[in-house]
Chains A and B, each alone.
Chain A
């Protein structure tokens, strides 16, 4: 029997706080996926695996390298960047890194899926099926109005997520390579004619995208559990957010993550069994009216 709590208003308020926290953190994962797709035209189906890898890299840094947790998080970010570049270089033929050809895109999607399976099995073989022990950056909580406890880890994760978005925004706007990425995603042929190298852009975008996924996993590994099978749910959630926010739109992923987090938390409070379905349904309703997503736009690609 389900009993409604004494105050639905209180329930809404509590869910809003939880939802904003959750949404801001999970949007980091989506931002990376959006960056990769926006630049490379390829769907990174191994994105969830990199999220998982972020957690394991952090655990490895803490337990085997005995690094402090903050350094371990940075290690996970940097290591995922390097690993991502290596895998892209080794697994995907260069001519497919950036391609509008549907056959090529399908093949890349399958190759990334295979990569995800390999990463998962690798983690399973090395660490088994259990959850890994990753400490928090900070312990303790603050109390929001209404008696809602928010952990310092959550606040730090939100802060890092916001910093990353600001950093990404400034990177894309003000740096030479950031401008090249933007130019490339808007008009590839013109950008190439202006001297922008496809391979450099693809490598940078992919490396950055998967390292954001790993960073997300690293930060969340002490709030949620990370096991070898983690990542597939997160991949679906990232897809939902990216589609909702606008494919290729970084700010859309940010907003999409926030909206998804809020909807999810509210529905979890009142209808937990249907929380994911209701969130998807509401997003579907938006997409029916605006198929490109909240901040997406139709870009004609050659």
Chain B
């Protein structure tokens, strides 16, 4: 017994010593990697130090332009989050190959947004306070953007949003250094209304997840649908814990709308469509999933396998806007990473490029100068044509950012995505699920 407890005690002390040594080593490494050279006492050594110091100073002056990036790098949103990082890196590589920005290389420093807002705030503090980034891209989620704004605006860090869509973020004074290059929630509503017009709907229901952005889209839809002569029969918001939607779908069957607009960005959208497509009482009513995982063929296939035909003629609306540069970017991305680029990658790319253009225009990395330069941005990239409004949201509409509406067509076991809107990008006409014919 005494031998056992003695061994345990020795082990515990050994572990404690190792941990303390590791902490000390880490602290020493960190301090020496950022600290200036130590002062020497002899004249010769002093002149060497002076020379070294001036070399260090010159290197710092010509050091990289650091763009911080906060995006999900773990958890269920990691695949999309990493696309943002990868897109940004493609842009950085292109810029560096061409000599960088103002002769300085571009460095993307990514931090994981994590699963909680406190993780995101921590990430922002690391980027801003420790790594002293010049600019920031992200965060991904609007709630996290709100949480880090005090840090970024406090340090006057120009911040580009490539995913977050909440319109209510873009109000003064917090939007002074905040710019968005992706479709805002008001743009989502524009897409939904365009779809409803396309299918000649007079009434619709809105089914969404219970998040702020979805409520904002619902609010825009409520206001704008009435003026468009459409009747919103109901709007329902579901917690993300929901998996069974049979009750909600029975309600849709009882309301008999001309169309169903769905905003569920996660697997809840897959759950919903699986159950919707399996229910003959509703599955002929056209349904439109905004910004959905169903844009991925594997997810669409999972529904088709479970319920053959349940995904046929479903409309999906990713918020990417097709331009003349989209195809080339997708090719580059595919070559570099071996996967297809989503709009997350394209917007990540555009974010960096728009920043680069602004820095070049401003002639400095100073926040006010760059923010001023950004305000007059007129840029076309793989994610869309970006011109900022006075509130630093991008312009929404034909020729700018529109999003894209696809209709899924199932042929045998193959899933096809036909572009049906906007007309400038369309390669097919929309088909009415009830009749199998086009909309007149």
Contact = CB atoms under 8 A, between A and B. Distances in A.
Interface of A: 1-3, 5-7, 10-11, 14-15, 17-19, 21-22, 128-136, 139, 141, 147-149, 151, 153, 221-225, 227-230, 233-234, 236, 264-266, 268-269, 272-273, 275-277
Interface string B373-403: 0000000000000000000000000000000
B344 to A, nearest CB: 13
A131 B243 contact: no
A227 B76 contact: yes
B308 A14 contact: no
B255 A130 contact: no
Which 8 pairs show the lowest CB-CB distances between chains A and B? Answer: A133-B305, A133-B302, A18-B246, A14-B250, A222-B306, A225-B270, A265-B247, A268-B247
Interface in B73-88: 75-76, 78-79
| Interface SS, B side | helix
Given A130-B299, A131-B298, A136-B306, A269 B248 contact: yes
A7 B236 CA distance: 17
Interface stretch (B275-283, B314-322, B422-430, B432-440): B275-283
B237 interface: yes
B298 A10 contact: no
Given A141-B279, A227-B76, A233-B241, A2 B236 contact: yes
B306 A272 contact: no
Given A1-B232, A151-B278, A273-B237, A131 B250 contact: no
B270 A131 contact: yes
A94 B304 CA distance: 45
Given A15-B250, A18-B247, A147-B281, A133 B236 contact: no
Given A6-B254, A223-B274, A273-B236, A134 B246 contact: no
A275 B242 contact: yes
Contacts of A265: 244, 246-247
Contacts of A229: 75-76, 267
Contacts of B237: 272-273
Given A22-B246, A148-B281, A268-B242, 16 more contacts: A2-B236, A5-B234, A6-B254, A14-B251, A14-B254, A130-B298, A131-B267, A131-B298, A133-B298, A133-B302, A133-B305, A224-B274, A225-B267, A227-B76, A269-B248, A275-B239
Contacts of B247: 14-15, 18-19, 264-266, 268-269
| Interface size classification for chain B | 35 or more
A128 B299 CA distance: 11
Given A131-B267, A141-B278, A223-B275, A3 B244 contact: no
Interface in B261-289: 267, 270-271, 274-275, 278-281
A220 B274 CA distance: 11
A5 B241 contact: no
Nearest to A6: B254
B267 A227 contact: yes
A10 B244 CA distance: 19
A287 B432 CA distance: 50
Contacts of B296: 130
17 contacts: A1-B234, A7-B254, A15-B250, A21-B246, A129-B76, A131-B270, A131-B302, A149-B279, A223-B275, A223-B306, A225-B270, A227-B76, A229-B76, A264-B247, A268-B238, A269-B248, A276-B242
A224 B244 contact: yes
Contacts of B232: 1
Given A135-B306, A227-B76, A227-B267, A5 B243 contact: no
